[in-house]
Chains A and B, each alone.
Chain A
Amino acid sequence: MNVSTNMDTTHSLPPSKITSPRSDQGVGEAIGVACRDLVTRFGHVRALDGFNLTVEPGECVGLVGRNGAGKSTLFRAMLGLGSLDAGTIEFTPRLDRGDLLARTGYVPDTLSIYDWMTVGRALNFAARCQPRFDSAWTNELLALLALDRSKSVRALSRGMQARLAFVLGLAHRPDLVLLDEPLLGVDAITHDIVLEVLARMRARDGTTVILATHQPGDLARLVDRVVFVERGRAHTSIAIDDLVDRTKRIVVHGANAGTRLNASCKFSPEAGVLLTRSTEVGATSQLTVTFDGDAHAVEEAIGKIAPEARISRVDLTIHEACADRLRALEVKS
Chain B
Amino acid sequence: MSILTPQAAHHDHSPSGQSPSNSSSGGLATFATLFLKDLALLRPIAATVTAFVLLAALVVAALPLLGVSALRWFGYTQRDDLFDRLDPVASIALVGGALVPFLCAPMILQGDRSRGAGSFFATLPISCTTRWMSKLAAALVVGLVPFVLAGLLRAPSFAVKSDDISNAMSLAALAWLAGAAGAVFVRGVPSAAILGAAFAGAIAALAWSIAALIQMPIYRGVFAWTGFDAEFNDYLEGNPVGTFLKNAASSRADAMPMWVLIATVVAALLLVIWKGRKIVVNGSEPLRKFRGVLVGVCAIALAGSGVAGVLHANRARLFARDFAERHEALRQGFERLDKLPTDELFRSWIARRAAKSGIEKHLLHEWILRENGGYLQPPSSDYNFGSSRKLLPDSTDYFEWAGLQGEFAAVNKRRNGEPAAFERIVRGVASGEIPATLAERMAAADGLGPYHLAALAAEQLASSPDLTERLRAIKSLAKLVRVDVDQGSREVVFDPSRRKMARDGIPGFALHPSLSTNFVGQARARAVISLVALEYALAQAARDGDSTRLADLFGGPAPVVTAEVLAKARAELARPIPELRESVEEARARTVDPADVEALDALLRAKAVTVEQLEAVRRGAECPISELFDLTQTDPVYLRGFEGK
Q: Which residues of A contact B (CB under 8 A)?
A: 42, 76-77, 79-104, 106, 108, 111-116, 125-126, 128-132, 153, 168
Contact = CB atoms under 8 A, between A and B. Distances in A.
B285 to A, nearest CB: 6
Interface in B1-42: 1-6, 9-10, 12-13, 18-25, 29-30, 33-34, 37, 40
Given A81-B282, A102-B25, 7 more contacts: A42-B285, A91-B2, A98-B18, A106-B119, A128-B29, A128-B30, A130-B125
Contacts of A89: 3-4, 9
B117 A131 contact: no
A129 B124 contact: yes
Nearest to B13: A80
B30 A104 contact: no
B288 A83 contact: yes
Contacts of A99: 21-24, 125
Contacts of A111: 116
B1 A92 contact: yes
Contact of A83 (B6, B34, B119): B6
B285 A96 contact: no
A132 B23 contact: yes
Lowest 9 CB-CB distances: which A-B pairs, in order?
A98-B21, A102-B23, A98-B24, A101-B125, A102-B125, A112-B120, A96-B19, A128-B33, A84-B6
Contacts of A97: 12-13, 18-19, 21
Given A113-B116, A116-B43, A90 B23 contact: no
Given A90-B3, A98-B127, A129-B33, A114 B122 contact: no
B115 interface: yes
A87 B4 CA distance: 8
B5 A88 contact: yes
Interface string B89-130: 000000000000000000000001001111111111111000
Contact of B4 (A80, A112, A115, A126): A80
A47 to B, nearest CB: 10
Given A102-B24, A102-B125, A130-B25, A83 B10 contact: yes
A97 B127 CA distance: 9
Contacts of A84: 4-6, 9
B155 to A, nearest CB: 35
B284 interface: yes
B414 interface: no
Nearest to B282: A81
Contact of A131 (B6, B25, B34, B285): B25
Interface in B393-422: none
Interface of B: 1-6, 9-10, 12-13, 18-25, 29-30, 33-34, 37, 40, 43, 112, 115-127, 278, 282-285, 288
Nearest to A77: B9
A320 B23 CA distance: 43
6 contacts: A77-B9, A82-B285, A92-B1, A102-B24, A102-B25, A130-B25
Contacts of B12: 80, 96-97
Contacts of B125: 98-99, 101-102, 129-131
In the complex, which of the residues B9, B43, B112, B123 has the most CB atoms of chain A within 10 Å of its own CB atom?
A: B123
Contacts of B284: 76, 81-83
A112 B122 CA distance: 10
Contacts of A96: 2, 12, 19, 21
Contacts of B2: 90-91, 94-96, 100
Contact of A129 (B5, B10, B34, B285): B34
B40 A129 contact: no
Residue among A77, A97, A104 facing the most chain B CB atoms (10 A cut-off): A97
A114 to B, nearest CB: 5
A132 B112 CA distance: 22
Contact of B1 (A76, A91, A115, A168): A91
Contacts of A87: 5-6
Contact of A86 (B3, B6, B19, B123): B6
A75 to B, nearest CB: 9
Contacts of B34: 129
Nearest to B286: A42
Contacts of B288: 83
Contacts of A112: 116-121
Contacts of A80: 4, 9, 12-13, 282
A95 B360 CA distance: 76
Given A80-B13, A113-B120, A90 B1 contact: yes
B37 A114 contact: yes
Contact of B115 (A98, A102, A115, A130): A115
A144 to B, nearest CB: 21
Interface centre among B40, B127, B278, B288 (most CB of A within 10 A): B288
Nearest to A89: B4
B1 A131 contact: no
Contacts of A101: 23-24, 123-125
B18 A83 contact: no
A100 B124 CA distance: 10
A128 B117 CA distance: 16
A235 to B, nearest CB: 23
B22 A116 contact: no
A104 B120 CA distance: 12
A81 B21 contact: no
B95 to A, nearest CB: 28
Nearest to B122: A81
Given A94-B1, A112-B117, A79 B21 contact: no
A164 to B, nearest CB: 11
A79 B122 contact: yes
A113 B9 contact: no
Contacts of B24: 98-99, 101-102, 131
Contacts of A90: 1-4
A129 B25 contact: yes
B117 to A, nearest CB: 5
A128 B23 CA distance: 13
Nearest to A42: B285
A205 B500 CA distance: 89
Contacts of A168: 120
B418 to A, nearest CB: 74
A116 B40 contact: yes
Given A83-B9, A85-B6, A101-B125, A108 B19 contact: no
Given A86-B6, A90-B4, A98 B19 contact: yes
A94 B3 CA distance: 8
A202 to B, nearest CB: 21
A116 B22 CA distance: 31
Given A99-B23, A128-B30, A131-B24, A106 B10 contact: no
A92 B37 CA distance: 34
Contact of A114 (B1, B29, B117, B282): B117
Central interface residue in A42, A112, A125, A130, by most chain B CB within 10 Å: A112
A17 to B, nearest CB: 25
Contacts of B116: 111-115, 153
A84 B112 CA distance: 22
Nearest to A91: B2
A159 B33 CA distance: 28
Nearest to A32: B1
Nearest to A132: B23
A131 B112 CA distance: 20
A62 B10 CA distance: 28
Nearest to A101: B125
Nearest to B111: A114
A72 to B, nearest CB: 10
A120 to B, nearest CB: 14
A239 B637 CA distance: 106
A126 B120 CA distance: 9
Contact of A79 (B29, B123, B127, B285): B123
Most buried by B among A86, A89, A128, A132: A128
A93 B118 CA distance: 28
Nearest to B43: A116
Contacts of A77: 9
